[in-house]
Structure 1
């Protein structure tokens, strides 16, 4: 490996360390209470080193946010690519959304629960492009369902929000430990069954 390649790899590895440390601190003690110095202490480098990679902690948060949505989008696409029936794609989309949330609780918290990423976007006067793209994926599948006769007389945006609210609610109940009223070994299965029952009900919402 040449000198240039080695330096590039070291840069990638350092950026990864910074992002991993920042994500943990943002979730443990909150975005506002986390400083660049705190992040530097975790990775055992100077604060100046971090500034070589990121302008400020807002930029770090934004990088984490974008990265997380990239992974979610891939998971959602994987859920629909093998399905030909539009309603089956819709059901699979929700299943993969829940699977991603259950397997990546910290990232899901950063994406959909913490307010800091949205506040950062508002400061920049930017729209939530990552959230918009994820929602558009859902809306596209809902519109295909409507073409097949489902959700007659409704608009795709309202149906999409309904679907999103349901899976987000199930995911958040679990990630915020509100499912502790159920036996541990049954918690996720109960949520998956609830989603299955919901999709069974709306399957009849057809001409």
Structure 2
């Protein structure tokens, strides 16, 4: 590895350390309580060093937001090879659930905390919100393909896709915040022999199947 390559690797490694430290602090202490100085202290660098990479903490938050969407979009991309559209839709739901459960930190930054979307509204006006558009367009395209196969024909594509996302987000949010597990523990007689998240998802899929 040459000098130029080593310098580039050092920059990327430091950029990742900044993002990792910021993510931990944002989720632990909250966005408002996290400062550039605190992030710098965590990685044992000066605040000036961080400003070489990011102009402020909102810029860091948005970079984390983008990183999470890249992970999710990459997992959705694999599903393009599932040709039967309804099977692809079910697979998308499962991928979304698994992403939330396996990456709860990113999920909170992407879909629960308000600061990233406030950054989008403030800085992406008149421009396409690329990472969000790509994720949602994957869903709307799949819903459109399902309609061509005879599913959901009485519904508007975008509205129906938004309803699907809303339900999946609600399910994942309830799970991550502990509400779903609490429900399972207090209603044991209703959910014996199955994971409540899986039972709920299966019920949602069955409902969608009935809309053909």
Task: Give the count of matched residue pairs.
Answer: 202
CA distance in 2, matches of 1:93, 1:125: 27
TM (norm. structure 2) is: 0.90
| Structure 2 alignment gaps of length 5 or more | 186-191
Gaps of 5+ in 1: none
Corresponding position of 1:199: 205
Q: For residue 125 of structure 1, report the CA deviation from its aligned partner.
A: 4.7
Spell out the pairing of 1:121-132 with structure 2 (5 A cutoff).
Answer: 121-126=120-125, 128-132=129-133
C-alpha distance in 1, partners of 2:200/2:74?
24
The residue that corresponds to 2:102 in the other structure is 103
- Provide the alpha-carbon RMSD of the alignment: 1.6
**TM-score computed with the length of structure 1 as normaliser:** 0.92
Distance 1:139 1:57, change over 3 A: same
Alignment of 1:66-145 (within 5 A): 66-78=66-78, 80-126=79-125, 128-145=129-146
Of residues 137-146 and 172-181 in structure 1, the stretch that sits farther from structure 2 once superposed is 172-181
Distance 1:146 1:116, change over 3 A: same
Post-superposition CA distance 1:146-205 (Å, at most 9, x none): 01111122110121011101110111001112123135xx9x932122111111121121
Moved over 3 A (4+): none
